[in-house]
Structure 1
Amino acid sequence: MSSTSRTSRRRALTACATAVVLTALLAACGPGGAAHDSAGTHHDPAASAPASAADPSGHPAAGAADGMADMPGPDGGTGLTDTVQGYRLTAPDTPLPAGAAADYRFTVTGPDGRAVTDFAVDQTQRMHFYAVRSDLTGFQHLHPTMAADGTWTASLAALAPGTWRTYASFVPKSGGAAGSALVLSRPVTVPGTAAAVPLPPAATTAQVDGYTVTVRGEPMARMAHPMTVHIARDGGPVTDLQPYLDTYAHLTAVHAGDLAFAHLHPATAVDGDHGGPDLTFHAEFPQAGDWRLFLQFRAGGRLHTAELTLRVG
């Protein structure tokens, strides 16, 4: 074999080997071209646990993950953990009473282990606190008070028996996470007999206190989409919404599969008591599935909360 033939043969073999390696790398990366490690998918044994008296919904337990729990959401996470970026939500592991108002006390500690007392104002408040029942039939949104030592107190209205999840949504004013919106959560039990309540089917409209709320838009998971809420009363558009938390409506979403949390940010500017009928939100859901929407708006001097199930593709 001539020297020229041997050189051509080596070049051909090298090209073939390169093609094989490149093909293997592309297969590992998947269609998006980024490496996908299936071993990193997170599963919680509680996700397949059967319903019980403490969790009557038939949904996975409040802290369960379905492979998406560690994916960053629009508010610094999906709210399914008590620790994010070194910040930790701490509270006594004691049940709350059923059928009676109760104070829920908690503390947020920073990466240094000390109680945080320096919070930025977000939508007129330094802390937004939520309590959500595991079957999504219970929802409370409160603004707790903080003592000098960093202990927060949320005055909860009466809770029905079952498993609940409490969320603390805040923005640190200093430190490494300064300016970042974070959501931390913990489960809490309310003893008693809990009746199973199925999740209402997906819908685009809801009725509350004589108002009709209509949601328009087709949000997709992990993608930013505009979403519009239309508010009407007696068949006519509502144009006298009053400001609430420096906006015309506050929209919270909780995932039916694992109680992942999403706070949808309003985009409509406030101009006195002239809100409505159409309100625009920046919607970004961290995962697909059924989400329960809780829309809070002020009209006629009262705060109203409309609820509906939204299907996210």
Structure 2
Amino acid sequence: MARAKGRTMNALTRIGGFGLALAVLFGVSYVVGTTIGPSRDSDGQAGASGQEASAGGGGAAGGVDGVTGGIGGLAISAGGYTLAPGELSWPVGRSRTYTFRILGTDGRPVTEFTRAHDADLHLIVVRRDLTGYQHLHPTRDAAGTWSVPLQLAAPGVYRVFADFIPRSSRTGSAVTLGADLTASGDLRPVALPPDSRTAMTAGGYTVTLGGQADTREAATLRFAVARNGQPVTSLERYLGAFGHLVVLRQGDLAYLHVHPNSAGTAGTAGPVGTAGPVGSAGPVGAVAPAGSVRTASSGASAAADSGSALSFATRFPSAGSYRLFLDFKHEGQVRTAEFTMTVMADGTAHLATPTGTSPPAHTH
């Protein structure tokens, strides 16, 4: 009887000790949890803070600023704004009207925007393997619904980027929101093309990329356009500028805000990086190649001499592969030149300077 009582007391002692250990463990967990707080990526503001924390973007409205690097497009909601697409799936090979709204913090459609580069909003569509790039310009009705014809050539998951500047923004920073759009069918992914300093487009155009990519400071990228071996000296203004540049990171499709190298617009940039005449009074963020000559104010084009190059500045947030899409207009038609650029682990990717080009007018 005494032995049984001793065994019972030992068991109770062990159970009591175990319970005490659990209490201590839970107490420590509580203190650590309340000290560290919840993950920014999981709170209700993931679009505004979690996105920028993971990719280095930012600004008061989730757009451009010099501290966070100008990354966007990783979230459907950022800076108090939300992209609300009308549909999440799309047919292949058939043109239909794609609709969406930009919602404010009150849940209502935003109807006031700051016009940049001749548009209130730029819509970029690209498949997640960085093929099928389209740069579209939807129209908005009085109720705040945007619409644009859209045709997807192949099955896959596409990323839709809405790039805009809300009029309510106190900083004038661009906001880039992103949402996926699925086109059902037999998906056949395309490998990212290798790095190249030249890109060919329809019509016999060759575009040469030069400059230096660097994760540690702003990088200057220059593009020289030639046709049939001869420099193109009569690029036309497209959306108020000579060229538009979009840069996307492979993997998460982080959208880099590209700062144009401009005179008189330091520190400002529209939704899409652009190049236009130096010192011109065109759209905010528009710049030009060095040596360019602007036509009369009523004209639709501007000329640049053969020693000029379109010039842009951005900051690459990390090592990795990036896809660059340069839109330019010549003889009434918009062309897109595509490049792959790999930024090395040491933070740099050196590119050959296009022959016959001069340095950019400004470097940010």
TM-score range, shorter chain: 0.7 to 0.9
Question: 2:309 is matched by which residue type in structure 1?
Answer: D
Q: Name the CA shift for 1:144/1:170 in 2 (closer, same or farther; >3 Å).
A: same
Equivalent-residue separation in structure 1 for 2:154 and 2:216 (angstroms): 33
> How many matched pairs?
254
1:124 is matched with which residue? Answer: 118
Q: Name the CA shift for 1:108/1:66 in 2 (closer, same or farther; >3 Å).
A: closer
Equivalent-residue separation in structure 2 for 1:225 and 1:196 (angstroms): 30
Which residue of 290, 295, 302 maps to 2:333? 302
1:274 aligns with 2:303: yes
Question: 2:113 is matched by which residue type in structure 1?
Answer: F
2:172 is matched with which residue? Answer: 179
Question: 1:99 is matched by which residue type in structure 2?
Answer: G
Q: How does 1:29-48 map to 2 (within 5 A)?
A: none
Q: Could you list the runs of 5+ residues in structure 1 that have no partner in the other structure?
A: 1-36, 44-64
Equivalent-residue separation in structure 1 for 2:57 and 2:309 (angstroms): 31
Q: Deviations over 1:106-138 (max 9, x none)?
A: 100112221100000011110000111011111
1:50 is matched with which residue? Answer: none
Equivalent-residue separation in structure 1 for 2:332 and 2:160 (angstroms): 28
Q: How does 1:213-224 map to 2 (within 5 A)?
A: 213-221=207-215, 223-224=217-218
Shift of residue 91, structure 1, vs aligned partner: 1.4
1:194 aligns with 2:187: yes
2:76 is matched with which residue? Answer: 82
Question: 2:132 is matched by which residue type in structure 1?
Answer: G
Q: Name the CA shift for 1:263/1:159 in 2 (closer, same or farther; >3 Å).
A: farther
Shift of residue 163, structure 1, vs aligned partner: 0.4
Larger Rg: 2
Question: 1:234 is matched by which residue type in structure 2?
Answer: N
Secondary structure of the 1:68 match is helix
Q: Name the CA shift for 1:137/1:285 in 2 (closer, same or farther; >3 Å).
A: same
Equivalent-residue separation in structure 2 for 1:305 and 1:147 (angstroms): 29
Following TM superposition, where does structure 1 have runs of at least 4 consecutive aligned residues deviating by more than 4 angstroms? 39-43
Question: 1:194 is matched by which residue type in structure 2?
Answer: L
1:136 aligns with 2:165: no
Equivalent-residue separation in structure 1 for 2:316 and 2:116 (angstroms): 20
Q: Name the CA shift for 1:87/1:242 in 2 (closer, same or farther; >3 Å).
A: same
Q: How does 1:1-313 map to 2 (within 5 A)?
A: 68-69=54-55, 71-72=57-58, 74=64, 77-174=71-168, 176-177=169-170, 179-209=172-202, 210-221=204-215, 223-267=217-261, 268-270=275-277, 271-272=294-295, 273-275=302-304, 277-312=308-343, 313=347
**Identical columns (%):** 40
- Residues 222 and 287, structure 1, Cα contact 8 Å, conserved in 2: no
Shift of residue 184, structure 1, vs aligned partner: 0.3
Shift of residue 203, structure 1, vs aligned partner: 1.3
* TM-score (normalizing by structure 2): 0.65
Equivalent-residue separation in structure 2 for 1:67 and 1:182 (angstroms): 15
Secondary structure of the 1:207 match is strand
Secondary structure of the 1:274 match is strand
Q: Could you list the runs of 5+ residues in structure 2 that have no partner in the other structure?
A: 1-35, 43-50, 262-274, 278-293, 296-301, 348-364
Secondary structure of the 2:181 match is strand
- Residues 82 and 103, structure 2, Cα contact 8 Å, conserved in 1: yes
Equivalent-residue separation in structure 2 for 1:169 and 1:71 (angstroms): 14
Question: 1:152 is matched by which residue type in structure 2?
Answer: W
